[in-house]
């Protein structure tokens, strides 16, 4: 077992009750990320198109640029930061949280999935963002892809990495996604 893996396992064990099976699954997600890592050259200057031009993922700058949002015809925004978006004409769902091991997004997946489902049904366009567009927003997008396409976390993460190579949820968020998959497998999309 490598030193990096040992440090990851120790950190996860310290912050939450985690099983060996969950650790193995998280390691699979990290290996998947590593397979895509050679594609990351720089963070996207533009939001990434994730689903059929109606779902995009970006960062704080994208969400605060009204001209840019208008050019993408964005009607809905999921803001996964501790900051509040001001003066926006879009419908906004704010999920407060910092990029840390203590942020719990699992409890928000049902609300974010419903928000995105409504956006899609209304023919709208959504932007999911966090500060850098790397960890928290990726977690929300992966959870939605799992819900929308009935995918495993590995399938959803692989799909996202092909469209946004810098996507990289932190270890605690990877654990939350693994646990969300268990809920979906049991037929329970509620949080």
Which residues are known catalytic residues?
Answer: 130
146 exposure class (CB count in 10 Å sphere: 0-12, 13-18, 19+): buried
Which two three-digit tokens encode residue 90? Answer: 């879009």
* Pairing relationship of beta strands 55-58 and 76-79 according to DSSP bridges: unpaired
Residue 107 class from Cβ within 10 Å (0-12 exposed, 13-18 middle, 19+ buried)? exposed
Alpha-carbon distance of 82 to 69, in angstroms, equals: 20
Dihedral sign for Cα atoms in the order 150, 152, 153, 158: negative
Euclidean distance between CA atoms 54 and 125, whole angstroms:
4
């Amino acid at each position: 077992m490598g030193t990096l893996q040992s440090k990851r396992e120790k950190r996860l064990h310290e912050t939450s009750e985690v099983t060996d099976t969950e650790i193995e699954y998280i390691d699979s997600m990290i290996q998947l990320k590593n397979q895509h890592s050679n594609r990351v050259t720089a963070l996207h200057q533009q939001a990434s198109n994730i689903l059929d031009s109606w779902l995009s993922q970006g960062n704080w700058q994208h969400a605060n640029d009204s001209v840019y949002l208008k050019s993408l015809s964005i009607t809905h925004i999921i803001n996964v930061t501790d900051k509040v978006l001001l003066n926006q004409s879009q419908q906004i769902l704010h999920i407060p949280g910092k990029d840390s091991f203590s942020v719990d997004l699992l409890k928000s997946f049902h609300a974010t999935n419903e928000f995105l489902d409504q956006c899609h049904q209304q023919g709208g366009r959504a932007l999911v963002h966090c500060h850098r567009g790397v960890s928290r927003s990726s977690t929300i997008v992966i959870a939605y892809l799992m819900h929308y396409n009935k995918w495993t976390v590995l399938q959803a993460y692989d799909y996202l990495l092909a469209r946004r190579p810098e996507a990289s949820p932190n270890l605690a968020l990877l654990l939350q996604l693994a646990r969300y998959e268990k809920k979906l497998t049991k037929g329970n999309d509620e949080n």
